[in-house]
Copies of this chain bind each other. A is one copy, B any other.
Amino acid sequence: MMMRRGMRQKKKSEFLTEVELEFMTELWALGEGSVRDVLAQLAPDRNLAYTSAATILRIMEQKNFVVSEKRGKVFVYRPLLAKDAYQSKTLRDLSDKLFDGTPASMVARLVDDQGMSEEALTEIRALLDRRLKDNDN
């Protein structure tokens, strides 16, 4: 990449890669799990070697996305990154990069073509009302 001038700092990769998100999703669902636990949770046609899964989790630990703890004879991995927090971060990023930094336009696009049920829409409006009321206090 050359990086001759500027020398951007270490890139602190804040976002999960494709496979990392796949694994983290299982960990979020499980709460915690060993390599085998996570592997067993993946789609049956995923066909990923055990060593590949182990490598992925090890790398995720290096990146501080998870921690491991030796329990019995295996390592058990636990998310350090909360799903809520990651969802928020991702939405903020997407809003900035693709929706001109205005989250409202994101919601507009969502409610326009995502086929949301009337119940969902109503529920969300209730959320908004509650939120707006809180802000008044």
Contacts and interface: CB of A to CB of B under 8 A. Distances in A.
A102 interface: yes
Interface stretch (A33-41, A61-69, A108-116): A108-116
Interface residues of A, number: 45
A124 B97 contact: no
A74 interface: no
Contacts of A120: 102-104
A12 interface: no
Nearest to A132: B121
A25 B97 CA distance: 8
Contact of A114 (B95, B118, B121): B95
A19 to B, nearest CB: 11
